[in-house]
Amino acid sequence: MTAEIQPARRGVFRREDVAALAVFLLLAAIPLATSGYVVYILPQYMLLGVLAMSLALLWGHGGIVSFGQAAFFAIGAYAMGLVMKHLTGMAINSAYVGILVGTVGGGVTALLIGYFLFSAGVRAAYFVVATLALSIVVEQTVKSFSDITGGWNGLYVDRMTVTLGSWLELSLFDDAPIYYVVLAVVVPVYVIATALMRGRFGKIVVGIRENEDRMTALGFNVPMYKTLVFGLSGLLAGVAGSFYATHAQFAHPVNAGVLFSTQVVIWVAIGGRHSLLGSFVGAIVVASLSNYLSSIEEIQNYWPLVMGLIFIAVIVLFRGGLAGLVEKLAGKGAHGRAAGH
């Protein structure tokens, strides 16, 4: 039998697992080889990578585009900041509570919004507009309640300390410790998200992307699954926001708005929306590149233009993004289950 298009079932996964291992080993090795700014800034980019993954599982697998990821990220960041600031003198580590509140806050907000929108049949462009509005609402909220959030000045957030009862107390004030703590969060997040999207849940979400009517006629509660994947997406964005706030030591309206949400969309489009790893790497690469380009004096004023051109080139030339390109170069043609659009 000769098939024109071979869906790569298990092969691609093994290749992506190898790639993931390589990426995480590289990230783990960087602080051993160097120090200074790179070790300081990379954890932030990794967390932006988690934010990108939160959109990739929604967009790449579910076919649902969201311009609201910054909102959930900001909910995580502000929850972290506010809890750490106000929850003092407790027996429990306030940073842990902050992470929990930020993560659950992002997830539950997404669940609620998803529930109302999806059960009302809101989809496609209308859904995008609703998520856009959500970003604006959160941005305006944190700007307006400046007594609590610090408004345009942002909210100062402490570096957290890792504690384990009376056994362990590890300050994350220095770059290397927090680098490894962030990495130790990012890796399981990636592994769990990947396992979920490869399992029954992820397959159902892909089925909904491919043919909603068929999935309904098979007995799947489509609005429920869309709500769940949106909730999962908000959860990931929330966890990224919580850690980002304590690393960057601030939570700012800039990380809540439409502009930031748009950047997330760009990272994911460049990295490859069908691949969680691709979007994770995409965010790190694009964020690093923006940072680098903006530091070169000659093009300081033009770098957004350069980024825009790169974005357009990727969209036009390889719609699967970097991950799609890598897969194509690695041989065996088609993009497997994630292929299509």
32 lies in the site for other proteins, by CB under 8 A: no
DSSP annotation of 297: G
**Shortest distance, position 220 Cβ to other proteins, whole Å:** 6
**Shortest distance, position 338 Cβ to other proteins, whole Å:** 9
274 lies in the site for other proteins, by CB under 8 A: no
- DSSP, residue by residue, 183-197: HHHHHHHHHHHHHHH
Q: Which amino acid is at 249?
A: Q
Q: Between residues 59 and 179, which has the closer beta carbon with respect to other proteins?
A: 59
340 lies in the site for other proteins, by CB under 8 A: yes
- What whole-number distance in Å separates Cα of residue 162 and Cα of residue 174? 12
Q: Is 69 exposed, middle or buried (0-12, 13-18, 19+ CB in 10 A)?
A: buried
- What whole-number distance in Å separates Cα of residue 61 and Cα of residue 206? 5
SS3 4: coil
What residues between 204 and 223 interact with other proteins by CB under 8 A? 204, 206-207, 210-211, 213-222
What residues between 226 and 245 interact with other proteins by CB under 8 A? none
Question: How many CB atoms neighbour CB 285 within 10 A?
Answer: 16
**Shortest distance, position 9 Cβ to other proteins, whole Å:** 8
What are the beta bridge partners of residue 250? 156
**Shortest distance, position 341 Cβ to other proteins, whole Å:** 8
7 lies in the site for other proteins, by CB under 8 A: yes
Q: Provide the CB-side half-sphere exposure for 298 (13 A, CA).
A: 0
Q: Which amino acid is at 105?
A: G
333 lies in the site for other proteins, by CB under 8 A: no
339 lies in the site for other proteins, by CB under 8 A: yes
9 lies in the site for other proteins, by CB under 8 A: yes
Please tell me the count of residues contacting other proteins according to CB under 8 A.
29
Which residues bind to other proteins, rule: CB under 8 A?
1, 3-7, 9, 200, 203-204, 206-207, 210-211, 213-222, 334, 337, 339-341
